[in-house]
Amino acid sequence: MTINAGRHFVTIDESAAGERLDRALAAALPALTRSRVKALIEGRRVALAGGQTIEEPSRKVKTGERFEVDIPEPEPAEPIPQSLALDILYEDGDLLVLNKPAGMVVHPAPGNPDSTLVNALLAHCGDSLSGIGGVRRPGIVHRLDKDTSGVMVVAKNDRTHVALSKLFAAHDLTRIYQALVWGAPKADRGRVEAAIGRHPVDRKRMAVRRSGGRHAITDYWIEKRFGPPLQPLASLVGARLGTGRTHQVRVHLAHLGCPVVGDPVYGRKSRNAKAPAALVDFARQALHAAVLEFRHPTTGKEMRFATELPQDFSKLVQSLNSVK
């Protein structure tokens, strides 16, 4: 028996009341084993319909509760090495730092089985990548969205992977992004401290949540405004992550009312007739991971890597200098 990927809804009847959540869902979805259901719950893929994400398999269910189970697409086959260009900023026996181009997926996934960063790393590093991420994500400690460019660090052995993962988990490193956004935040600089979780209706999106989200902090500052001073058409914004939630910069900037230009999920088209075509038609989210700073796990040396805006992003910004 098989079950299709996607969203499945389960309503708890009286006979299941008081059961563990994993046991109740496994009984309602017989194509899934209890262990598989447990993994989905712990992977934040089960939620009360239209509400809070559930992470406890042992949670007792109540009559009438309706749960949404998000079953992912099957994992792709084990990735193969592919000789693809890499912009390597630094490399030693423990780690590798690179500048990921926009348009490159980090690891194979449904719809993107190859030509990913992992395929390129396998060709470049051979067997010298950490295995903690599994065969489909060797060396991958953190990720950037497909259409986000910028600095990433990759682990070349398990010891380094563990150490780097601890830095990311403790937010004991510096990550700074640059984003071109519609309009401008009201304050020249500030902090967004708003929990982020799955959107209550569209589970593929993230959203600021009053309940059920995870604590998230983004510090931001305006680097340059474009257009009328009192009502800018767009602005270049810097953002420092205080936490590392999925789509955090994109969600928090949209929460400020200034979505990232070109963002297909959280963005919007400008209704300003004066907006130049280059801005309106920018083909991807204008977001760049500009700076990464961390302490080297082996040497203890403070490492800092900074990259310029990629050509398409830089060209767009330059074109806005003439906007009045």
User: Measured between alpha carbons, how far is 235 from 42 in angstroms, rounded to an integer?
Assistant: 39
CB atoms within 10 A of CB 195: 16
Q: Which two tokens stand for residue 91?
A: 């490399």
Measured CA to CA in angstroms, residue 61 lies from 19, 159, 274 at distances of: 6, 40, 54
Q: Does residue 253 sit in helix, strand or coil? A: helix
Distance CA 8, CA 30 (A): 12
Q: What distances in angstroms separate CA 292 from CA 169, 239, 304, one per listed residue?
A: 15, 12, 6
Q: Which amino acid is present at 302? A: E
In angstroms, the Cα distances linking 305 to 99, 131, 288, 290 are: 9, 25, 13, 8
Helix (H, G, I), strand (E, B) or coil at 298: coil
Please, which residues have CB within 8 angstroms of residue 279's CB and are 6 or more apart in sequence?
A: 233, 234, 261, 270, 316, 319, 320
| Both structure tokens of 31 | 């194509």
Q: Catalogue the active-site residues.
A: 145
Q: What are phi and psi of 146, to 5 degrees?
A: -50, -50
Structure token pair of residue 212: 């059920």
DSSP type of residue 275: S
Whether the Cβ atoms of residue 26 and residue 34 lie closer than 8 Å to each other: yes
CA–CA gap between residue 73 and residue 79 (Å, rounded):
16
